[in-house]
Amino acid sequence: MMPECTAYDDSFYEDLFVYSTAISAVTDENGILRKVNKRAMEMFFGTEQDLGSVIGRNILEFIHVDDRAKVIERWQESLREKKEVNYDLRMSAADGHVMYFLVSGRPIVRDGKVVLFHYQALDMMDHKVQEQNLLASASAEVIAQIAGGFAHDFNNLLTVINGYAEIMRLSIDEGSPLFHKASQICEAGRQASQLTGRMLEFSRKSKAKAELVDINMEISNQEGIIRHVIGENVSVGFAKSQGLGKVLIEPSRLATLLVNLTVNAKEAMPRGGEIVISTEPYVVDASSESLHTRVSRGSYVRLSIQDNGEGMPEEVCRQVFDPFFSTRDGGRGIGLWTAQNIVHAAKGYISVESCPGTGTTFTILLPVSGADSQGEPVGKTDPKAGPEHDASRTILVVEDDDTVRDLVNEVLKGQGHVTLTARNGGDALQIVRQYDGNIDLLITDMVMRRIDGMMLSKKMRSIRPHIKVMFMSGYGGGMLDDDSLKDSVFLQKPFLPQDLVDKVRSLFA
């Protein structure tokens, strides 16, 4: 049963305007402010007591100078065509910092003439932070994080907007022109909800998975990139302790963390200098707990990035992890913010120590994952040395790149395994049907012509239900479904031989 609609007086709608959580303002046809709601006053103009100094001023005064031409153009379009316009812009908040907004401007027409404009603005600061983060990294994980985070935050806003729009619609007589406008708002909100739903679906499909990672090995993997980004006038040294436990983190995010902190160190030394990247095991217990008031007890890997650059005063150190904060001309101010988010997502801790003239040290504590909490030797392992404890397995390798297939075949044979190889899915199925012996493991590339890796694994399991599967790809594992992941693992290209060996062992552990 529909709730009974109640007629409201003008004061009700006045309260909806004044106390709305959306930022609202009314100007005349020339942009002169005539009315401002409470939310707008708090954010842009100060307190409600300052209202008298705001009314009568041109709204352009509060818009970023670089965005004024765009606003004037859209305002003229709305004035000329008498239609609602939408655009994004920057405005200066009451405390002086710049904020990003999505603005809707609707002309109010009387006797065929525009007499007022009603503006509503949505705070897009969080979205802008995430958008900048996307520009800083091309990884699918970051894209998914932005899509999911933005959809979550935007749904909170839509709850308020759609709710009040529906209240207004139900309180207005169906014959009123306002009823049609309120219905349009409700419909737009419904479509926006569908859009954010699709974004959440995308983020779930693309979400990267954390893995047990050897930090020393990951630093070695990124060494070439690190040396490239720091240039020739900065030297880099590595001090990697042995006996580190493994940490649970998504490998590409750890790589982003290393590169962001290294680039930050390099930019602190415009005349050149030295960066030292070091690792060591670290334990927070009763004796050291007072030194780490925010850190839980346990075993950690301590990662440090130290430079001998210009250093920073204490007030700058307190702000370095804030989004958009930068002390350099042209700096976006999101590299360290991204680094902090990566560390926190891995349940770790990050801190900075610096003084002007003495350089800067960023210290990261990443918790050692359960089974490795006591640490383990991390020496070099020869993947051809042969398994000391592994049983020999029969493994079918399917890869359309001859050189990759040959490498995988060689590494597996060096471990004492029996290998069968195929260039594509069709050849692999023929081998399986003709081979009389047991096949323990299928290692397949994800992207191949005609029969891709996921389809091949399903066909293979229909013939040999107990076969285990390892997928390989340079695209990432986001395309795998739950059925494909059963009794299987994913190996990201490029990989080291030891990565392949470890993945095979993990399947038969």
Backbone angles phi, psi at 389, to 5 degrees: -125, -5
- In the prediction, which pLDDT does 376 show? 40
> What is the CB neighbour count within 10 angstroms for residue 106?
17
What contacts 460, CB < 8 A, 6 or more positions away? 428, 429, 432, 442, 467, 469
Let me know if residue 387 belongs to a domain.
no
Q: Has residue 388 got a pLDDT over 50? A: no
One domain, residues 409 and 362? no
One domain, residues 361 and 456? no
One domain, residues 193 and 304? no
One domain, residues 257 and 215? yes
- What CATH number is associated with residue 258? 3.30.565.10
pLDDT digits (tens, 9 = 90+) for 332-361: 556 788 788 889 888 899 999 998 888 999
- What CATH number is associated with residue 172? 3.30.450.20
Q: Has residue 378 got a pLDDT over 80? A: no
Let me know if residue 386 belongs to a domain.
no
pLDDT digits (tens, 9 = 90+) for 394-410: 999 999 888 888 888 88
The 8-class DSSP code of residue 368 comes to B
User: 3-class secondary structure for 263-288?
Assistant: HHHHHCCCCCEEEEEEEEEEEECCCC
- pLDDT exceeding 90 applies to what percent of the chain? 22
One domain, residues 81 and 190? yes
Helices (H), 268-397: 314-317, 335-345
pLDDT digits (tens, 9 = 90+) for 261-311: 998 889 888 888 999 999 999 988 766 654 555 678 889 999 999 999 888
Domain count, the chain: 3
One domain, residues 398 and 340? no
* Dihedral angle computed from the Cα positions of residues 195, 200, 206 and 208, in that order, rounded to the nearest 10 degrees: 150
For range 418-433, the mean pLDDT: 94
For range 39-63, the mean pLDDT: 76
One domain, residues 138 and 183? yes
Collapsed DSSP state (helix, strand, coil) of residue 392: coil
One domain, residues 189 and 215? no
Let me know if residue 269 belongs to a domain.
yes
> Which amino acid is present at 254?
L
Q: What six digits make up the tokens of 58? A: 């041109």
Among 206, 232, 261, the domain boundary falls at: 206
Q: What six digits make up the tokens of 153? A: 């935050």
| Sign, CA torsion 399/404/406/407 | negative
Q: How many residues are there in the chain?
A: 509
Collapsed DSSP state (helix, strand, coil) of residue 475: coil
- In the prediction, which pLDDT does 130 show? 60
Nearest to 185 by CA among 22, 6, 73, 76: 22
Rounded to 5°, angle at Cα 284 from 282 and 288: 110
Let me know if residue 411 belongs to a domain.
yes
Residue appearing with tokens 């920073």: 312
Alpha-carbon distances, residue 492 vs 67, 279, 489, 500 (angstroms): 43, 24, 10, 10
Angle between helices 10-19 and 140-171 (to 10 degrees): 160
> What is the CB neighbour count within 10 angstroms for residue 344?
12
- What CATH number is associated with residue 439? 3.40.50.2300
One domain, residues 331 and 478? no
pLDDT digits (tens, 9 = 90+) for 96-118: 667 788 888 899 999 889 899 98
Let me know if residue 389 belongs to a domain.
no
One domain, residues 415 and 345? no
> What is the CB neighbour count within 10 angstroms for residue 230?
22
Output 15 or 307, whichever has higher pLDDT. Answer: 307
pLDDT digits (tens, 9 = 90+) for 152-168: 566 556 665 766 777 78
pLDDT digits (tens, 9 = 90+) for 209-261: 678 999 999 898 888 778 877 877 889 999 999 989 999 998 878 888 898 89
Among 145, 173, 206, the domain boundary falls at: 206
The pTM assigned to this predicted structure is: 0.39
One domain, residues 48 and 168? yes
Let me know if residue 299 belongs to a domain.
yes
Q: Is the distance from CB of 261 to CB of 222 less than 8 angstroms?
A: no
Query: Residue 249 belongs to what H/E stretch?
Result: strand 247-249
Among 206, 226, 259, the domain boundary falls at: 206
The beta strands (E) that lie in 368-407 are given as 394-398
> What is the CB neighbour count within 10 angstroms for residue 179?
16
One domain, residues 18 and 103? yes
> Which amino acid is present at 261?
L
Q: State which residues form the domain around 275.
A: 211-372
pLDDT digits (tens, 9 = 90+) for 470-503: 998 865 555 565 565 666 888 877 677 788 889 9
| Sign, CA torsion 6/9/14/19 | negative
Let me know if residue 5 belongs to a domain.
no
What contacts 447, CB < 8 A, 6 or more positions away? 453, 473, 475
